[in-house]
Amino acid sequence: MTNGKQTLHDPWGVDISPLVPEIYAHYRPVVADAVVFFLQHLSAPRLNAILTEQQALEGDASIAQRLTALMFHCPTLHKLGQVIARNQNLDRELRSRLQTLESMPVTTCEDTIKQVIRRELRGAPIDAIRLGSAALAEASVSVVMPFSLISAEPSGPADGVLKVLKPGIEESLHEELEIWSRLGWFIDERCEFYRLPPLNYAESLATIRELLANEVRLDREQRHLQEAAEFYADAETIQIPVLFPFCTRRITAMERVYGKKVTDASAFSERQRRQLANSVIEALIARPVWTPHETALFHADPHAGNLFFTEDGRLAILDWSLAGYLGKTERIHVMQLVLGALTLDAKRVAREIDALAQAPTDESAVRAVVDNALGKLYVGEFPGFRWSQSLLDDASLSAGVQFSSELLLYRKSVLTIEGVVSDISSKSSIGRVLPASAARQFLRELTARAFSLPGSRHFGTHLSNLDLISLYWGGPTAVARFWAHHWESRLTALIDKSPEP
């Protein structure tokens, strides 16, 4: 494979570019070269093991099957597969193959895992638990082993699971993260050849590297679980696994959740599936957005394997290795951006994008993106969640705006949730659920608003009373802008159609 500057020797011999959907056809060359680059830089023992397994597959094995087999043996690719597994634009076979990565059968030697458990829990009451006869599942960096307490407390769970890091996984993960760092520089140097916008891919991939490094930091997962338990403490329909006291840096001991993946809801009625999909949106998107807290915790890896519908009808949110935090300031600026869109105020929208940026922006490029986005409103699109997310995407891709890593992580989380929700019920969508939850939040705030300072935004909707008043008085101005744009467009069309003298 060639990239215009150097030839990439392909040790794999499989071109995955046909798997890239037509909608992303522009990215086929860089995706294919990125996979080759990744394999090229793996250590010889790991690469040989992968190639040996590929040779053992049936001769007529599809490209999708071969790609999934590759991803399973590389923790970072495994995680990538879980993220894109619900993308509706992917080929049906590829989607089905990738979805198996959400919860894989166990291939790691269970005796080895049990040795790790005995070693790690040496100072814990190992005699107080009874390990299950077989592991439940294998994830990208860990194996899940069931256990039961020999003498459980009446008020606490009796059954649990031990999430155990695979032996040698830290070394494999760190090797791959270093490859991703090199890959970022590789792409940055060849943006012109691949016809990609110059967006500093090395920096973006560095952010992803930092997040993936947390996958093997189980002490951080345990902290996130405690924070999640507090965040959802008043939500009776949400279950966060309870931690047991014998956790270590390599083992998370937590309550066992009985249920099934939210996407395995085919036996439910359409109404039940829609309610379940709405619950996913409420818990994972609406709640972090509409909380009045200064920081809002959100799950950063919400693939279907981490979302269970429990036997008692609750939504269980599992695996908190990857989590992020939305700041109050960011949520305020996003709401101000929406207010600017509702009043068709391009300067205000551009100003809020600039406030969200982490570095100075190109004013003319941002204004062009904003004008294009507002143009959609003039022809009937509503400035809701999808519109605002599309605007921020375009600001990043077309105008080179650099947003915070937390905002980008939240956007990645939203894309994953959209795919999961679509697979649960086609009757549910973020664009329907989020405004309804905002309205309920606003109603809960009415009493407090009567006693708050005019400029206070200490509310879950992040809007002050002055913001609401300005929206009311901005209505006539918005109408004037709309009709001015309408007549300007008609006059321009007439002039373009008029014959030249």
List pLDDT tens digits, range 384-411.
889 999 999 999 989 989 999 899 899 9
**Residue matched to tokens 């490029």:** 365
How far apart are alpha carbons 390 and 227 in whole angstroms? 30
Is the CB of residue 209 less than 8 Å from the CB of residue 181?
Answer: yes
Is the CB of residue 280 less than 8 Å from the CB of residue 416?
Answer: no
| 61 shares a domain with 114 | no
Q: For a pLDDT cut of 90, what percent of the chain falls above it?
A: 70
Asked if the structure places residue 188 within a domain, the reply is no
* pLDDT given at position 493: 62
| 329 shares a domain with 447 | yes
| 95 shares a domain with 62 | yes
| 443 shares a domain with 356 | yes
In three-state secondary structure terms, 326 is strand
CA dist list (Å): 241 to 101, 107, 318: 22, 25, 7
**Residue matched to tokens 């002050």:** 464
- Each residue's pLDDT tens digit, 183-237: 999 999 999 999 888 878 888 888 778 878 888 999 999 999 999 999 999 999 9
Instruction: Please classify residue 55 by burial: count the beta carbons closer than 10 Å to its beta carbon, then call 0-12 exposed, 13-18 middle and 19+ buried.
Output: exposed
| 441 shares a domain with 360 | yes
How far apart are alpha carbons 437 and 450 in whole angstroms? 21
Of 49, 81, 100, which residue sits at a domain end? 100
CA dist list (Å): 87 to 273, 289, 302, 370, 447: 19, 23, 13, 27, 42
Q: In Å, how far from its chain's centre is CA 328?
A: 20
How far apart are alpha carbons 365 and 34 in whole angstroms? 29
Asked if the structure places residue 75 within a domain, the reply is yes
**Residue matched to tokens 């014998």:** 246
Asked if the structure places residue 6 within a domain, the reply is no
Of 81, 100, 119, which residue sits at a domain end? 100
Other C-beta atoms lying within 10 Å of the C-beta of residue 188: 17
Asked if the structure places residue 180 within a domain, the reply is no
Asked if the structure places residue 190 within a domain, the reply is no
* pLDDT given at position 9: 74
Asked if the structure places residue 355 within a domain, the reply is yes
Check the CA dihedral 437-438-441-443 and report its sign. negative
- Which helix (H) or strand (E) segment holds residue 378: the answer is helix 363-378
| 44 shares a domain with 32 | yes
Asked if the structure places residue 200 within a domain, the reply is no
| 80 shares a domain with 137 | no
| 315 shares a domain with 235 | no
* pLDDT given at position 123: 67
How far apart are alpha carbons 361 and 374 in whole angstroms? 19
Domain of 221, CATH number, reads 3.30.200
| 211 shares a domain with 246 | yes
Please provide residue 421's backbone torsions phi and psi, each rounded to the nearest 5 degrees: -60, -40
**pTM assigned to the model:** 0.89
DSSP line for 180-197: HHHHHHHHHTTHHHHT--
Is the CB of residue 205 less than 8 Å from the CB of residue 183?
Answer: yes
CA dist list (Å): 201 to 73, 183, 189, 257, 384: 25, 9, 10, 39, 29
| 225 shares a domain with 301 | no
**Residue matched to tokens 């009567």:** 450
Is the CB of residue 198 less than 8 Å from the CB of residue 396?
Answer: no
| 266 shares a domain with 149 | no
* pLDDT given at position 110: 83
* pLDDT given at position 235: 94
* pLDDT given at position 490: 65
CB within 8 Å of 470: residues ≥ 6 apart: 339
Q: In Å, how far from its chain's centre is CA 432?
A: 19
Of 100, 126, 152, which residue sits at a domain end? 100
Asked if the structure places residue 87 within a domain, the reply is yes
DSSP line for 105-154: PP-S-HHHHHHHHHHHTTTS-GGGEEE-SS--EE-SSEEEEEEEETT--T
Find the domain containing 229 and state its range: 104-170+205-256
**Residue matched to tokens 């649990």:** 160
Q: In Å, how far from its chain's centre is CA 401?
A: 20
How far apart are alpha carbons 129 and 26 in whole angstroms? 54
Residues of the chain with pLDDT under 70: 1-7, 123-127, 152, 154-155, 486, 488, 490-494, 496-501
- Domain count for the chain, please give it: 3
| 239 shares a domain with 155 | yes
- Each residue's pLDDT tens digit, 226-259: 999 999 999 999 999 999 988 999 999 999 999 9
How far apart are alpha carbons 305 and 308 in whole angstroms? 7
Amino acid at 29: P
**Residue matched to tokens 């070269």:** 33
